Amino acid sequence: MLTQAELKVLNLLAKEWAHSGPPGILDVSDIVAAVNQAPGETLQALKTLYQSGLVEMNVLKTSAFLTPEGFEAAGIP
């Protein structure tokens, strides 16, 4: 089951996906700034989502984007 922090990150990335098209890429710093929670909590949520395969990251780990499974998990119609 996803935590509130993970859901916030998924929903933000899903909105970016819906707005800009797949895969909904955002800089990690933009994600941290956009969600209303502690930066450490957001970074931990990203790490967990990455490990579970719902989010992918670039090689330098400076941006994140949804996998199709992540978009589905976000539940955005």
Helix intervals (H) in the chain: 4-20, 28-34, 39-51, 68-74
pLDDT tops 70 at residue 47: yes
Phi, psi of 64 (to 5 degrees): -135, 155
Burial class (CB in 10 A: 0-12, 13-18, 19+), 34: middle
CB 70 within 8 A of CB 7: no
Q: Does domain 4-74 have CATH number 1.10.3720.10?
A: no
Map residue 65 onto helix, strand or coil: strand
Q: In the chain, what percentage of residues exceed pLDDT 70?
A: 99
Residues 13-34: pLDDT tens digits? 999 999 998 998 999 999 999 9
What is the value of pTM for the model shown? 0.91
